[in-house]
């Protein structure tokens, strides 16, 4: 048994923050964009919901920026040598925001609740045989098979613990309490003035002594990107989460006094951008064409100009921030000549291809124009298609595209966030988040399967290295950028980003220096 | 009695028109690509077939189209706007929450533009061809030609970022704990920039229309008669010219009033004003069918109501209207 003690981490955390006394009190104004549809994290898991509700609800574990598990609702945990049994010891004296005591019963209930409502949880829990609660503070999970990435599936967004006493026996979707969420987290819900702000306040009975430090959190809804920049400039808000303002505003805002920025806090998500290339039909069905696209694009230029220098040019399907990454793969530097050769070799007849950009603002539009120009230079005619978010979903999910921009989260492990885009069993119409390109490679499918259930990490690395090498050779999609979303904040806000999901659960430890 | 009868027949026609609009809207909204389940799945960043099927069943989208339409019409007839599954709230509640903010903004802009526009128009026509006239018409042309979005951003940059006189966005100071008069003053301060921005365009239109109409009426015979009788010019302007010149302005004001609910989307977006225009726009992007249809219906009802009101105002200003010859 590998037993990890919570105390070790607490000591380390105290040392890291140094000698400065942490101050209590104050109010923090943050931007949330767009306005979340709901704050009930068990039912809705989109990005703005996670950012606000991550202070209200908690998972069993948190992850630091190196993606190592940290205590949260569980103070200790252990995995049996054969990888078949996970044991969690829960914190004692934890209560829900309405005063009801929290226990292992809530965890058991949450696994059932999430099975019905949380697609990603359903995927991770398909490897679980049974869950039991031998006593009020212990949870034991028995696996069907060892599943390496399982230990990465316990943060608040992946497995939020929801209150049994509120939801048991009710219709979850229409439960009136969804409007006033009750969690165990460091902040409690106060009010939500739709279209304006969400107000959370300090949980005075939080089970970790001395936390949280800040009295009030206001998540402000400002729909226009330029107005959000103004809101920060005029001091109305203190924190701009990644992606809240357009890239060209980032440099200007970070030059102001007392303004800091950080690219940390996205390690768990590791947003990875690429172009879906339709492997089924048209020129993109030819591997040589897809390779030519990779050689034709000046990805460094896009990073430096369109993204103002933020981000990293990826080597393949796995982000360099995700576990089991390797850079030992075929390389695709900017080489228009090589691209032309490949196009000649395949006898490309000049059929134009459609490109569907992401409807997420100016940056993505400019990016599409850069790609159009690059491909035009090697003789590929690109027609830019356009759609709003719903239309984009519809087109990609139903494979009505030649090339389409997207970016996806990796969730810390290739088995959780990468495999779904390349294995045959994930070719399913209707969702934009699976194997949309239609890549079929039975040999790779076997390796993916093996790697997911391999208990030994070294062997997993070998398998994933092999997978990455082959997939990069095949270019099922054109990888564009490991996106970086810098968080911009006033420098006197301390300890804001301490975990791999950053602002989504970071306000627990944050404090404001007077 | 004639008026009551006229109103009654108008209301009946209005109800039928409204129902036709509702059905047309239903087709339009459903014709847009994508549906609310796909959008929610898209936003979640991960989805499987079960999730999308569950959501569609929950929203009633798994039913045949005619069943969905019949349900919707049934709801409308019983004055039920339905439930927003995306936001987990009845649509009527969502609309009522957002309506006050929008009405404060649009009504303020409406009165500013109407009063200032007519006053400036009268002033310009009184000094036609002189410097004052040129100044007023020139300024009005500038307001008329400036894109709303740009004007809004510039107003924020100048008065909020540079000068720091007025708040640049929002409806009130968040978490201030203000009550009563302090809160009213706070909202008023937040209201100035968006209301002026929104009002400028229509102010220019009213000004130009009043000026032209005043000049035209001033040439007519009955004005010459009044002048010949030796009436004082100010009285002539007020009682004889202005009253007759106002009719086209009222027509236009009726049109503007019809947009009180749905016409401030841009202003609300730039100034983060928590109004109904934004609710409509965001619901549209999310394909939140019930909410979009609800907002459309309320807007349509407003247009119809203001058309009827405009007709009544005509009768007040010009008693000849409504009397059969």
Tokens of B141: 């042309």
Note whether A387 and A376 are same-domain residues: yes
Would you place residue A14 in the very low, low, confident or very high pLDDT band (cuts 50, 70, 90)? very low
pLDDT in tens, A457-481: 899 999 999 999 999 999 999 999 9
Between CA A473 and CA A332 the distance in angstroms is 10
Note whether A466 and A424 are same-domain residues: yes
pLDDT in tens, B91-103: 999 999 999 999 9
pLDDT in tens, A59-111: 999 999 999 999 999 999 999 988 899 999 999 999 999 999 999 999 999 99
More confident residue, B81 or A86: A86
Longest dimension (CA), chain A: 71
pTM above 0.90, yes or no: no
Helix (H) or strand (E) holding B96: helix B91-126
- Residues whose CB is less than 8 angstroms from the CB of residue A495 and which lie 6 or more positions away in sequence, other chains included: A17, A22, A506, A509, A510, A511
- Asked whether residue B244 is domain-assigned, the answer is yes
Tell me if chain B has a CB within 8 Å of the CB of A198: no
Tokens of A278: 């339709």
Tell me if chain B has a CB within 8 Å of the CB of A216: yes
Residue B30 CB neighbours (<10 A): 16
The residue of chain A nearest to residue B164, with distances taken between CA atoms, is A234
Query: Residue A199: its chain B contacts at CB < 8 A?
Result: 174-175
| Alpha helix (H) residue ranges in A378-456 | 389-397, 414-417, 442-453
Angle at B205 between CA B204 and CA B211, to 5 degrees: 90
Bridge partners, residue A136, by sequence = none
Note whether B23 and B167 are same-domain residues: no
Tell me if chain A has a CB within 8 Å of the CB of B282: yes
Note whether A287 and A393 are same-domain residues: yes
Question: Is the Cβ–Cβ distance between A27 and A215 less than 8 Å?
Answer: yes
Between CA A390 and CA A396 the distance in angstroms is 10
Note whether B226 and B283 are same-domain residues: yes
Angle at B280 between CA B276 and CA B283, to 5 degrees: 130
The residue of chain A nearest to residue B83, with distances taken between CA atoms, is A174
- Virtual CA dihedral for B105, B110, B111, B115, nearest 10 degrees? 150
Note whether A223 and A155 are same-domain residues: no
Of B41, B89, B101, the CB nearest to A431: B41
pLDDT at B14: 87
Tokens of A311: 């981000």
More confident residue, B309 or A372: A372
pLDDT at A20: 58
- Nearest by Cα to A211 from A182, A186, A175: A186
Note whether A36 and A122 are same-domain residues: no
Between CA A118 and CA A108 the distance in angstroms is 15
- Asked whether residue B223 is domain-assigned, the answer is yes
Q: How many domains does chain A have?
A: 3
Would you place residue A1 in the very low, low, confident or very high pLDDT band (cuts 50, 70, 90)? very low
Q: Does residue A391 register a pLDDT over 70?
A: yes
Q: Which structural domain range is residue B274 located in?
A: 97-319
Note whether B233 and B272 are same-domain residues: yes
3-state secondary structure B27-52: HHHHHCCCCHHHHHHHHHCCCCHHHH
Note whether B138 and B250 are same-domain residues: yes
Return the DSSP state at A130.
E
- Nearest by Cα to B98 from A237, A226, A190, A221: A221
3-state secondary structure A339-391: HHHHHHHHCCCCCCEEEECCCCCHHHHHHHHHHHHHHHHCCCCEEECCCCHHH
CATH classification at residue B280: 1.10.3720.10
- The predicted model gives A201-226 an average pLDDT of 94
Between CA B33 and CA A195 the distance in angstroms is 26
| Residue the block writes with tokens 């526009």 | B117
Radius of gyration of chain A from its Cα atoms, rounded to whole angstroms: 23
Note whether B104 and B64 are same-domain residues: no
Q: Which structural domain range is residue A148 located in?
A: 59-165
pLDDT at B226: 87
- Asked whether residue A3 is domain-assigned, the answer is no
Q: CB-based burial of residue A172 (10 Å sphere; 0-12 exposed, 13-18 middle, 19+ buried)?
A: middle
A-interface mutation test, from B31, B37, B44, most A Cβ less than 10 A away: B44
Note whether A212 and A101 are same-domain residues: no
Q: Does residue A7 register a pLDDT over 80?
A: no
Bridge partners, residue B95, by sequence = none
Tell me if chain A has a CB within 8 Å of the CB of B153: yes
Helices A457-474 and A442-453: crossing angle in degrees, nearest 10, is 160
CB contact under 8 A, A234 and B168: yes
Note whether A416 and A499 are same-domain residues: no
- Asked whether residue A29 is domain-assigned, the answer is yes
Helix (H) or strand (E) holding A293: helix A287-296
pLDDT in tens, A107-159: 999 999 999 888 889 888 999 999 999 999 999 999 999 898 899 999 999 99
ipTM: 0.84
Note whether A339 and A454 are same-domain residues: yes
Note whether B33 and B108 are same-domain residues: no
Question: Is the Cβ–Cβ distance between A120 and A149 less than 8 Å?
Answer: no
């Amino acid at each position: 048994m590998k037993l990890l003690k919570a105390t070790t981490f607490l000591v380390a955390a105290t040392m890291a923050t140094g000698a400065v006394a942490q101050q209590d009190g104050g109010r923090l104004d943050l931007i949330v964009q767009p306005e979340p549809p709901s704050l009930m994290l068990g039912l809705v898991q989109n990005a703005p919901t996670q950012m606000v509700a991550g202070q209200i609800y908690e998972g069993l574990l948190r992850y630091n920026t190196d993606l190592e598990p940290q205590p949260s609702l569980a103070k200790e945990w252990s995995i049996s040598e054969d990888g078949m049994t996970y044991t969690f010891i829960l914190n004692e004296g934890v209560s829900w925001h309405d005063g009801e005591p929290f226990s292992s019963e809530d965890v058991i209930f949450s696994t059932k609740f999430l099975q019905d409502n949380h697609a990603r949880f359903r995927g991770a829990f398909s490897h679980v045989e049974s869950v039991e609660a031998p006593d009020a503070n212990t949870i034991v999970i028995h696996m069907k098979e060892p599943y390496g990435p399982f230990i990465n599936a316990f943060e608040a967004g992946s497995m939020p613990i929801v209150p049994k006493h509120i939801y048991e026996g009710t219709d979850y979707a229409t439960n009136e309490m969804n409007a006033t969420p009750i969690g165990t987290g460091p902040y409690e819900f106060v009010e939500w003035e739709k279209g304006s702000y969400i107000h959370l306040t300090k949980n005075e009975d939080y089970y970790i002594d001395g936390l949280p430090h800040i009295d009030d959190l206001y998540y402000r809804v400002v729909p226009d990107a330029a107005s959000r920049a103004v809101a920060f400039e005029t001091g109305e808000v203190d924190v701009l989460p990644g992606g809240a303002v357009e890239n060209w505003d980032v440099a200007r805002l970070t030059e102001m006094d007392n303004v800091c920025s950080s690219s940390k806090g996205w390690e768990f998500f590791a947003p990875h951008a690429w172009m879906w290339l339709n492997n089924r039909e048209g020129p993109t069905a030819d591997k040589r064409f897809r390779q030519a696209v990779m050689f034709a694009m000046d990805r460094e230029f896009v990073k430096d100009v369109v993204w103002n220098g933020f981000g990293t040019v990826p080597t393949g399907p796995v982000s360099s921030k995700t576990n089991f990454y390797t850079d030992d793969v075929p390389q695709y530097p900017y080489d228009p000549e090589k691209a032309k050769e490949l196009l000649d070799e395949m006898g490309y007849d000049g059929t134009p291809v459609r490109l569907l950009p992401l409807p997420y603002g100016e940056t993505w539009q400019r990016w599409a124009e850069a790609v159009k120009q690059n491909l035009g230079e090697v003789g590929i005619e690109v027609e830019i298609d356009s759609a709003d978010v719903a239309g984009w979903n519809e087109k990609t999910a139903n494979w009505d595209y030649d090339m389409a921009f997207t970016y996806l989260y990796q969730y810390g492990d290739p088995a959780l966030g990468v495999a779904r885009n390349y294995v045959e069993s994930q070719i399913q119409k209707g969702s934009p988040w699976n194997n949309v390109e239609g890549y079929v490679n039975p040999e790779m499918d076997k390796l993916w399967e093996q790697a997911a259930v391999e208990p030994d990490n070294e062997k997993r690395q070998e398998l994933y290295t092999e997978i990455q090498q082959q997939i990069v050779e095949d270019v099922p999609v054109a990888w564009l950028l490991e996106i970086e979303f810098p968080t911009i904040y006033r420098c006197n806000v301390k300890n804001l980003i301490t975990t791999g999901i950053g602002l989504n659960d970071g306000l627990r430890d944050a404090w404001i220096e007077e | 009695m004639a008026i009551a009868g006229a109103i009654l027949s108008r209301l009946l026609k209005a109800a039928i028109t409204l129902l036709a609009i509702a059905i047309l809207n239903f087709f339009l909204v459903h014709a847009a690509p994508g549906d609310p389940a796909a959008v929610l799945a898209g936003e979640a960043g991960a989805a499987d077939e079960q999730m999308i099927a569950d959501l569609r069943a929950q929203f009633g989208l798994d039913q045949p189209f005619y069943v969905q339409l019949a349900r919707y019409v049934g709801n409308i007839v019983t004055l039920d706007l339905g439930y927003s599954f995306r936001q987990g709230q009845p649509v009527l509640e969502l609309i009522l929450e957002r309506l006050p903010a929008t009405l404060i903004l649009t009504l303020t802009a409406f009165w500013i533009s109407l009063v200032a526009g007519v006053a400036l128009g009268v002033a310009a026509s009184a000094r036609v061809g002189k410097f004052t006239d040129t100044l007023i018409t020139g300024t009005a042309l500038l307001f008329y030609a400036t894109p709303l979005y740009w004007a809004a951003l510039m107003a924020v940059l100048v008065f909020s970022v540079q000068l720091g006189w007025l708040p640049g966005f929002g409806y009130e100071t968040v978490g201030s704990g203000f009550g009563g008069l302090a809160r009213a003053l706070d909202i008023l301060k937040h209201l100035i920039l968006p209301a002026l921005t929104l009002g400028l365009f229509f102010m220019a239109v009213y000004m130009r229309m009043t000026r032209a109409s005043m000049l035209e009426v001033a040439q007519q015979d009955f004005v010459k008669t009044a002048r010949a009788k030796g009436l004082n010019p100010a009285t002539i302007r007020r009682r004889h010219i202005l009253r007759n010149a106002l009719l086209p302005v009222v027509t236009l004001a009726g049109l503007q009033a019809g947009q009180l609910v749905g016409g401030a989307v841009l202003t609300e977006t730039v100034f983060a004003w928590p109004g109904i225009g934004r609710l409509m726009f965001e619901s549209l992007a999310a394909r939140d069918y019930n909410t979009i249809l609800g907002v459309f219906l309320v807007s349509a009802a407003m247009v119809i109501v203001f058309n009827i009101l405009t007709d009544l105002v005509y009768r007040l200003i010009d008693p000849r209207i409504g009397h059969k010859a």
